[in-house]
A and B are shown apart, each in its own frame.
Chain A
Amino acid sequence: MCRLLLAFTTFFALVMSAAIPARADETVWSGLVIAQNVQQPEPIPVELTRIERPLKELFGYNQFQVIGQSHKTLKTGQEDWLATSKFFGLHVDARGESEAGYILNLKLYKEKELLLETDAKLSKRSPLIIKGPQVGGGQLLLVLIVR
């Protein structure tokens, strides 16, 4: 009877451990992307493959290059970080976490000039794309993806 009880307890523990997934730290990828139309487009960066179709369909460009990026692992949901290129900076300030995702304050700087500010609730399963200013013949895009 004792062995049976032990076996049952072990089984129960295993099932419950499978049922309640451990909460892993999540990483937010933030990227500054230049979208352009070129004769011979380069392959889309790995970070953007997940949203390749909407990027091409919505913005109408055939090449996407990452000019600045940041991988930030969120532990408390209160972190802040910066993704920068030579002239642009995207400051992300996480202001908490909810079931739906992370509440973020985003600021796009051109050098020291604030171009755009937005607050968003970034879902863990739904990327955010921000259309930035026109840069030459292309377009600056800001992309945030939770991994």
Chain B
Amino acid sequence: MKTFEEKWTAWLDGQLSGKELAEFEASLPDKAAAEAEKRDVKKLGVLLKRELGAGVLCNEDFFSHQLRERVARESIEPPRKQATEVSTWWTIRRLFLTGTVSLAFFLVFAVFVMREKNPAEQSQYLTQILNARVDPAISPNATISMFEAKEDRVTVLWTEGLQSLPADYAAK
């Protein structure tokens, strides 16, 4: 069941016919006013078609317009890309390469520094005598001293007064 508004729109567009048209026109309170309105609507339609219809692109025009825009855009982009390539020398690959080479240099130098440093560090250590004792019953007059000959890197435990022994004791 169509509403009045639907029937009104259809009547304006001339889409009602037969019994439906007769019933609708009979239901109009002022048929003359309605006819006048129908004419005005038609005039407005013609006017709109004439004024706005020229600006609307059909499908072919719209497609070709899009193509032209795209071609124009692409014809501008290559120089921009080229400019980008020239200006950005530090690509990811080159950054990685540079980082790797730098790290390699650092490691090589670190190794050399460490190798040269280690002997110096170790050289600080001289042999230390922590304690020394002799049997007082065997060598009652023995004395003990200790010193380091730093120039030769030698530590000496020096005893005096140990029991003297005959030359036979030098045997192998």
Contacts and interface: CB of A to CB of B under 8 A. Distances in A.
A54 B169 contact: no
B66 interface: no
A43 interface: no
A101 interface: yes
Interface size classification for chain B: 35 or more
B100 interface: yes
B126 A8 contact: no
Contact of B107 (A12, A67, A130, A134): A12
B109 to A, nearest CB: 10
A135 B158 CA distance: 15
A91 interface: no
A131 interface: yes
A124 to B, nearest CB: 7
Interface string A82-126: 000111100000000001110100000010011111111111111
A110 B157 contact: no
Given A11-B104, A130-B159, A100 B132 contact: no
Interface of B: 93, 96-97, 100, 103-104, 107-108, 110-111, 114-115, 122-123, 125-135, 138-139, 149, 152-159, 162-172
Nearest to B172: A67
A4 B130 CA distance: 55
A129 B155 contact: yes
Interface string A1-37: 1001000100110011011000000000000001010
| Chain A facing B: main interface SS | strand
A101 B164 CA distance: 32
Contacts of A137: 167
Interface string A122-147: 11111111111111111010000000
Interface residues of A, number: 54
A51 B159 contact: no
A88 B169 contact: yes
Contact of A126 (B126, B139, B170): B126
A118 B129 contact: yes
29 contacts: A4-B96, A11-B104, A15-B108, A34-B170, A51-B154, A58-B149, A85-B172, A101-B125, A103-B130, A116-B134, A116-B159, A116-B162, A118-B132, A119-B130, A120-B127, A120-B130, A121-B128, A125-B122, A126-B155, A129-B154, A129-B156, A130-B157, A131-B157, A133-B139, A135-B169, A135-B170, A138-B170, A140-B165, A140-B169
Nearest to B152: A54
B159 A132 contact: yes
B127 to A, nearest CB: 4
Contacts of A126: 125-127, 153-155
A26 B139 CA distance: 35
A4 B93 CA distance: 10
Contacts of B123: 125
Given A86-B172, A101-B125, A120-B127, 9 more contacts: A8-B104, A12-B107, A19-B114, A51-B152, A115-B163, A124-B125, A133-B139, A136-B170, A140-B169
